[in-house]
Structure 1
Amino acid sequence: MRLTSPGHRALRQTAGAVGAVALMVLGAAPSVAADSDPGLVLGKIAPIDVKPGSEFSVPVSFTNTGTAALDKVWMAFGLSHGLSYTEVPSNCKIKQTGGADETPSALGMYCEFDQTVKPGVVYAPEKTVTLKARDSAMDDQLGVQVSSRRIEMGTGEEGDYSEPGTAPAVKLVERPDATPAAPGSAEHGGWDMKSAKVTAKNTADFQLTGAQLKGKVGDTVPLAVKFTNAGPGWVPGEPEVSAAYVRIKMPAGTSVVKAHGFCHSVGSGTYECGTGNYWIYENGGETYDFKLKIDKAVPGAKGSAAFVKKPRPFDPVKSNDTAAILLDVEGDGATGGSSSTPTPSSSSGSGSGDGVTGGSSSTPTPEGSGTPSTGGSGSTSGSGSSTTGTSGSSSTGGDLANTGSGSALPLMAAAAGTVLLGAGAVLVARRRAARQQ
């Protein structure tokens, strides 16, 4: 979602950075800054370390570095998925943004201050903004914008905001003890923006769940391998790069009739699978659905699933990083062997699994967010065959399928673990069609 201010135009920008949390814009840069535009300069906001579930204050101030007083100013605050507001004043409005297949969910608050703002004076909200780190907080970001023009959301139409807040209205007060920004130091004319990292020491347990297949030679059977982020933290990830990579090796004696759209063959009955988005909400993930044909009975045949390629320092549990795919061929005395989980050499986990099931199969439901990327179909059984193990929805959001590589159009990325708010609107273009096998 893009937020604009009247008289501003969106600027297409591209930049690359690791670990962007969200792409969110609170106002775009004007096409040409008029000489008469006032100079608004926000004070710096230091990085913040918090504990999940805790509240914290964010001191915010700004200076009118112009030569004339302003009759009114607007301020906007943007929070990434792991953060929320403790209250919303009645002169402010709040709205959820993102949460689709282009950006993670974020929460914007837009405040109007109908009062005189004198030049050369530092102002701040009379009540310090207080935020809460959700239980899912990890690498998050807050952003602040001040503007001499009304900040609109989306199309800029009236009514595009949510209902006003219910807490007492907040006004701006002078801060005579603070040092004002120097005259002429404004970079953007009638607006300014600042952002800061909010880091919470948290973990996210990535889990894999395998399956047990059963059928006769010649049958086509469904296979569903499930990847789940059991949380508690969400994982922002890096734009245009899959949030995780899973390598799935099929049992001997089978061939893939149809592969999941986020997966591609790497040879020898092995597929590498990416994710639909570059972030993973808590309790979110992917279900990789395949259709396998049982070509022949191979005694002891079994496959495996394992995380590969990307390090996960936030994930301390390694015992569920791999999962087994067992095959029981009816009428031939061939079975997939024991239920112990193999540990493929390509796995990033060091521990062994505990059978077919490597983790939770709960339906992804992000905390306090818009609808995450879920959907898709579960397992579809073939003729004369059955499957036990995982099933569920397959994420269809985004196009980071096929391990996240490809010719995706440029995304604007912020610094590590950031939300981009303010100058320079971002137009996000995503490939929406996953490669189909």
Structure 2
Amino acid sequence: MPTPSPALGTFRSSVAALGAAGLVALATAPAAFGEENTPDLVVGGVAPVSGLRPGDGIDVSATVGNKGTVTAGKVWVAYSVTRGLDFAQVPSNCQAQHVRSYDEMPERWTAVCAFDQTVEPGAVYTTDRPLRVTALDRALNDELRLRVESADPGADDNGSDPVPGTAPPVKLVAAKAGGAGSARIVDVPVTTVNTADYQVTGAALRGSLGDTVTMKVKFTNAGPAWVWPREGDEAVRVVITPPTGTTVVKRGSFCRAEDGAYVCGMRSLYEGSGETYAFDLRIDKRVPGAKGSIALSTEARPFDPDKTDDHADITLDVAGGGSSGSAGGSEGSGGSEGSLGGSTSGTDGSTGGSNGSTGTSTNGSDGGSSSTVTGGTTSGGTTSGGNLAETGSSVLPAAGVAAAAVAMGAGALLVQHRRRTR
């Protein structure tokens, strides 16, 4: 059994000695016990940047001020840039870290710099030299964040192990009042002149009536830039229309049905990334020239001038040849074939034909079974032809037998009539 702490026993005795009146007195004086007197630090010194080109750099000079009434004994300034930017050099009093994407925040790099200098109330300081930030080949819409703290913010749990910089340390020097900014965290947009080519890839499908085939179509950001939509930007979507004559059995991930098509999103717009949408389609009907499509939605994308790859076809080739009509409609010589549920027949090796050929008849219900017809006999599942014969080769012999039976019956009646007359 754990031994009670002496300090805990002393605390309990003190509470008992205070009594109810003492507890009430404590409850009515929160300012003396609950409020913390901390410095009110703000950061600034940077403005939005635009017109950069890959390889260009900007110099970032942070300005720190204290708007509070308490002196900051030490300050930390954190620089953070999204993945299209990078630090040219990191001072030795700064810790650099690569942070993975999480909570809708993109991948980024940080440099947290410690300044062992006091910042008095009302004082304003700036760094004695700027931190150089460069635009990478993938830069487009990026962001620079500055943050100031009066306590060590520590490393990000989602990042790599922090690494000390190797450049000479940076220091804070006195600056003119009024340029420190007004917030503890400042986000600054950095825009680079660049392009990102969004592309879609279609598919060529092939199967027989009743088959379920997998359709895989794709979206790709071919770069060179990565794309991070800013607040207010309309999200780009992928619109997928399956070929006519098919039914979607299973839709792709990140897709929803909308107005006869499927509208899909994507997980990443990093350069070189893509999203594959896999659909399971059942072929219900043969439609000559059946075709679907995959296309990008029509939101404005000034960074993507090439529109030739914003649309692609999804073709469907239904095995068996010829065109089909409605369910049970006639096709070819002596055979009938329609949408899912119709039977097929033909001659000389065609589907369901005679001379030992093999054919398939498909049940009309969703996910119906199929049966294989070989030489006029049926094996496997059910067929949709009622009591009719499954193949064209068995129809004529059956009709001949029926005609012979009728003739024989008529002859027998004639003989019986003559006998009665005699």
TM range (shorter): 0.5 to 0.7
Deviation at 1:187, TM superposition (A): 6.1
Q: Given that residues 43 and 182 in structure 2 are in contact (C-alpha distance below 8 angstroms), is that contact kept between their aligned partners in structure 1? A: no
Q: Relative to 1, partners in 2 of residues 1:133 and 1:67: Cα closer, same or farther, differing over 3 Å?
A: same
Q: Relative to 1, partners in 2 of residues 1:161 and 1:149: Cα closer, same or farther, differing over 3 Å?
A: farther
Q: Does 1:272 align with 2:269?
A: no
Cα deviation, 1:325-361, whole Å, max 9, x if unaligned, reads: 11122222569xxxxxxxxxxxxxxxxxxxxxxxxxx
Q: Does 1:281 align with 2:270?
A: yes
Q: Given that residues 91 and 112 in structure 1 are in contact (C-alpha distance below 8 angstroms), is that contact kept between their aligned partners in structure 2? A: yes
For 1:235, the equivalent position in structure 2 comes to: 227
Which residue of 208, 212, 216 maps to 2:200?
208
Q: Relative to 1, partners in 2 of residues 1:69 and 1:263: Cα closer, same or farther, differing over 3 Å?
A: closer
Aligned mates of 1:75, 1:90 — CA distance in 2: 14
Q: Relative to 1, partners in 2 of residues 1:51 and 1:118: Cα closer, same or farther, differing over 3 Å?
A: same
Deviation at 1:309, TM superposition (A): 4.2
When you count helix as a share of all residues, which structure comes out higher?
Answer: 2
Aligned mates of 1:33, 1:137 — CA distance in 2: 47
Aligned mates of 2:36, 2:162 — CA distance in 1: 36
Deviation at 1:89, TM superposition (A): 2.1
Deviation at 1:272, TM superposition (A): 1.8
Q: Given that residues 89 and 164 in structure 1 are in contact (C-alpha distance below 8 angstroms), is that contact kept between their aligned partners in structure 2? A: no
- Secondary structure of the 1:152 match is coil
Give the letter for the 1:80 counterpart: T
Deviation at 1:44, TM superposition (A): 3.6
Cα deviation, 1:168-209, whole Å, max 9, x if unaligned, reads: 34131424xx42239xx9867xxx222211111221111110
Q: Does 1:327 align with 2:316?
A: yes
For 1:174, the equivalent position in structure 2 comes to: 173
TM-score of the two chains, using structure 1 as the length reference:
0.60
For 2:162, the equivalent position in structure 1 comes to: 163
Which residue of 114, 124, 127 maps to 1:125?
127
Cα deviation, 1:93-149, whole Å, max 9, x if unaligned, reads: 122334246322122221112234455543223331101111111111111112211
Deviation at 1:321, TM superposition (A): 0.7
Give the letter for the 1:167 counterpart: T
Deviation at 1:259, TM superposition (A): 0.5
Q: Unpaired runs of 5+ in structure 1? A: 1-31, 336-382, 385-437
Moved more, 107-116 or 200-209: 107-116
Aligned mates of 1:221, 1:300 — CA distance in 2: 17
Q: Given that residues 243 and 275 in structure 1 are in contact (C-alpha distance below 8 angstroms), is that contact kept between their aligned partners in structure 2? A: no
Q: Unpaired runs of 5+ in structure 2? A: 1-32, 325-368, 371-422
Tell me the number of residue pairs that the alignment of Structure 1 and Structure 2 aligns.
293
For 1:257, the equivalent position in structure 2 comes to: 249
For 1:219, the equivalent position in structure 2 comes to: 211
Aligned mates of 1:232, 1:161 — CA distance in 2: 26
Aligned mates of 2:68, 2:244 — CA distance in 1: 74
TM-score of the two chains, using structure 2 as the length reference:
0.62
Deviation at 1:217, TM superposition (A): 1.6
Identity of aligned residues (%): 40
For 1:6, the equivalent position in structure 2 comes to: none
For 1:434, the equivalent position in structure 2 comes to: none
RMSD of aligned Cα (Å)? 3.2
For 2:280, the equivalent position in structure 1 comes to: 291
Q: Given that residues 126 and 170 in structure 1 are in contact (C-alpha distance below 8 angstroms), is that contact kept between their aligned partners in structure 2? A: no
Q: Given that residues 96 and 165 in structure 2 are in contact (C-alpha distance below 8 angstroms), is that contact kept between their aligned partners in structure 1? A: no
Q: Given that residues 101 and 108 in structure 2 are in contact (C-alpha distance below 8 angstroms), is that contact kept between their aligned partners in structure 1? A: yes
Bigger RCO of structures 1 and 2 (CA < 8 A, at least 6 apart): 1
Q: Relative to 1, partners in 2 of residues 1:332 and 1:56: Cα closer, same or farther, differing over 3 Å?
A: same
For 1:142, the equivalent position in structure 2 comes to: 144
For 1:195, the equivalent position in structure 2 comes to: 187
Aligned mates of 1:68, 1:271 — CA distance in 2: 59
Q: Relative to 1, partners in 2 of residues 1:92 and 1:127: Cα closer, same or farther, differing over 3 Å?
A: same
For 1:41, the equivalent position in structure 2 comes to: 42
Give the letter for the 2:219 counterpart: F
For 1:246, the equivalent position in structure 2 comes to: 238
Aligned mates of 2:200, 2:157 — CA distance in 1: 41
Cα deviation, 1:237-257, whole Å, max 9, x if unaligned, reads: 257988421211111221111
For 1:58, the equivalent position in structure 2 comes to: 60
- Secondary structure of the 2:244 match is coil
Q: Given that residues 241 and 293 in structure 2 are in contact (C-alpha distance below 8 angstroms), is that contact kept between their aligned partners in structure 1? A: yes
For 1:400, the equivalent position in structure 2 comes to: none
For 1:303, the equivalent position in structure 2 comes to: 292
Give the letter for the 1:110 counterpart: V
Q: Relative to 1, partners in 2 of residues 1:281 and 1:186: Cα closer, same or farther, differing over 3 Å?
A: closer
Cα deviation, 1:40-65, whole Å, max 9, x if unaligned, reads: 23234111122122222112122344
Q: Given that residues 199 and 221 in structure 2 are in contact (C-alpha distance below 8 angstroms), is that contact kept between their aligned partners in structure 1? A: yes
List aligned pairs for 1:46-125, cutoff 5 A.
46-49=47-50, 50-66=52-68, 69-100=71-102, 102-125=104-127
- Secondary structure of the 2:164 match is coil
- Secondary structure of the 1:252 match is coil
Aligned mates of 1:101, 1:163 — CA distance in 2: 21
Q: Relative to 1, partners in 2 of residues 1:119 and 1:209: Cα closer, same or farther, differing over 3 Å?
A: same
Greater Cα radius of gyration, structure 1 or 2: 2
Aligned mates of 2:84, 2:248 — CA distance in 1: 39
Deviation at 1:226, TM superposition (A): 0.5
Q: Given that residues 137 and 225 in structure 2 are in contact (C-alpha distance below 8 angstroms), is that contact kept between their aligned partners in structure 1? A: yes
Aligned mates of 2:223, 2:323 — CA distance in 1: 38
